[in-house]
Chain A
């Protein structure tokens, strides 16, 4: 035997009538912002990394780098220190850029 429906449930279901659209959907669609293209951000990032790598190759004295001598580093030899610091900063930036570009956006 079926149990009788709760009178409140029955009333509420009876009141659950369809809300006619009356142009609501059209209004929502008109206000939609342009959807961001998912591929655009990583593509721009990768392009920036490639350009950055090319500039680093061009500007950094990679062919005649001072040897990484820790005694000179400890004595704060500005020539060795600044060159290696620049290389580390550039490499770090390129690595960060690559990771950011390839990481899937949540």
Chain B
């Protein structure tokens, strides 16, 4: 018998069921870790540390989850906040552009015929563009959900996606 996320959350809240929580982690660890790995420019160790912190926060704050948003949206919101606080403390590890201070990196000259792979191209985007693209285009979240996670207006998220996609097309020579 498979339980829904809501069933598992109820079990955790009612009886502190660690097995139910483990099932929630198992279900959601992949997209969260993949997102954080991309956001930390491929630093899998840092991404895993942040993902662990994210799930520990979820355990502590689960009683505040109201169910008005999807659990995955709420979870990505916590993950993004963890990333943001890590970026404040460890600017040498994470791009400072999370703090909106980034200067746009020079685009690859496509005339050189240089074709980056997707991961490298994503690394060249500003953090907010990368986050919006990963959430909406890779994880299938709506613009509204991404806006909630990134704590930005929906219009800004749409702009980040458009701009990010344009850059990716240029970088990947598509």
Please list the residues of chain A having a beta carbon within 8 angstroms of any beta carbon in chain B.
6-9, 11-13, 15-21, 24-29, 31-33, 35, 37-38, 105-106
A35-B16 in contact given A19-B33, A28-B56 (Cβ < 8 Å): yes
Contact B169 A8 (CB under 8 A): yes
Report the interface size for chain B: residues with CB under 8 A from the other chain: 33
Q: Is A16's CB under 8 angstroms from B139's CB?
A: yes
Q: Of B25, B34, B59, B172, which is within 8 A of A16 by CB? A: B34
- List residues 64-95 of chain B with CB under 8 A from any CB of chain A: 64
Contact A7 B169 (CB under 8 A): yes
Contact, CB under 8 Å: A16 / B138: yes
A32 touches B138 (CB 8 A): no
Check A25 against B30 for contact (C-beta < 8 Å). Answer: no
State how many angstroms separate the Cβ of A32 from the closest Cβ of chain B. Answer: 5
Q: What is the chain B residue whose CB lies nearest that of A19?
A: B30
Sample (7) of A-B pairs whose CB atoms are under 8 Å apart: A16-B139, A24-B33, A29-B18, A31-B52, A32-B18, A33-B59, A105-B63
CB–CB A15/B33 < 8 A: no
Contact of B168 among A8, A16, A20, A31 (CB under 8 A): A8
B146 within 8 A of A: no
Give the dominant DSSP class at B's interface.
Answer: helix
Does the CB pair A18–B138 fall under 8 Å? no
| Residues on B facing A (Cβ under 8 Å) | 16, 18, 21-22, 25-26, 29-31, 33-34, 37, 48, 51-52, 55-56, 59-60, 63-64, 118-119, 133-134, 137-139, 165, 168-169, 172, 174
Establish whether residues A11 and B55, one from each chain, have CB atoms under 8 Å apart when the complex forms.
Answer: no
What residues on A are CB-neighbors of B172 within 8 Å?
8, 11
Instruction: Select which of A13, A24, A33 is within 8 A of B29 by beta carbon.
Output: A24
**Interchain CA distance A37-B33 in the complex, whole Å:** 30
Asked if A33 and B60 make an inter-chain contact with CB atoms under 8 angstroms apart, the answer reads: yes
Nearest residue in B to A105 (C-beta to C-beta)?
B63
User: Does A25 contact B165, Cβ atoms closer than 8 Å?
Assistant: no
Does the CB pair A18–B56 fall under 8 Å?
no
B residues in contact with A31, CB < 8 Å: 52, 56
- Distance (Å) between the CB of A35 and the closest chain B CB? 4
How distant is the Cα of A20 from the Cα of B44 in the complex, in angstroms?
A: 13
Do B48 and A32 have beta carbons less than 8 Å apart?
Answer: no
Q: Cβ of B139: which chain A residues have Cβ within 8 Å of it?
A: 16
**List of 3 A-B pairs having minimum Cβ-Cβ separation, nearest first:** A35-B16, A19-B30, A12-B138
